[in-house]
Amino acid sequence: MTAVAWTGARRMPVLRLSAGAVRLIAVAALAGVAAMLAWTALPAVWGWQPTVVTSGSMSPSLHRGDVAVTSAPSAGWAPAVGQVVVVPDPLRPGRTRIHRIAGIDADGMLVTRGDANGSDDSFRTAPADVRGIGRLLVPRVALGSLELREGRPALFVAQGAAVLAALALVLRPARKP
């Protein structure tokens, strides 16, 4: 047998970015964060309200950590099958549930169901009790804060660190050649 000399591990090529490119990436990331926050907060100008999706019952349409922006029903609002609505949750007093209208029964009560659920909700809701109608969806923007609230801070800390790092890159004075 012939011995082969071991030359060590092969090195992976390293992507080298200029300071300007890194700064541009950081600005783009911050702009994305700002846009998501604006899409969540700006609708309040029209009286719309953000609602954080806290479960997977509406998957694949709405995911945990998404923000659903809703508006209060107008005076002439007529419920329609397929609309996403926020209704009081009688199983958890003081809380709400965001589900889709699956039907309207003979008494005019709304039958709701989560998209991921195999059956309708066990309760019915009067149209007058609807607190919000889905208008806009901002994906995953609240996932970090939701994880923090549930005692798992890693994602929240990682998101915060990424934003702070991007801010540091953007606000850092440019080096002089």
CA 21 to chain centre: 28
> Which has the closest alpha carbon to 142: 47, 54, 78, 15?
54
In-domain check, residue 6: no
Q: Is the dihedral of CA 126, 129, 134, 139 positive or negative?
A: negative
Number of domains into which the chain is organized: 1
- Is the whole-model pTM more than 0.85? no
- Its domain, for residue 62, covers 19-171
| Tens digit of each residue's pLDDT (9 = 90 or more) over 107-144 | 999 999 999 999 999 999 999 999 999 998 988 888 88
Token pair for residue 112? 């709701």
In-domain check, residue 7: no
Q: What is the CATH number of the domain that holds 59?
A: 2.10.109.10
Confidence band of 150 (pLDDT split at 50, 70, 90):
confident
73/58 Cα distance (integer angstroms): 21
In-domain check, residue 5: no
| Tens digit of each residue's pLDDT (9 = 90 or more) over 33-61 | 787 777 777 787 888 998 899 999 999 99
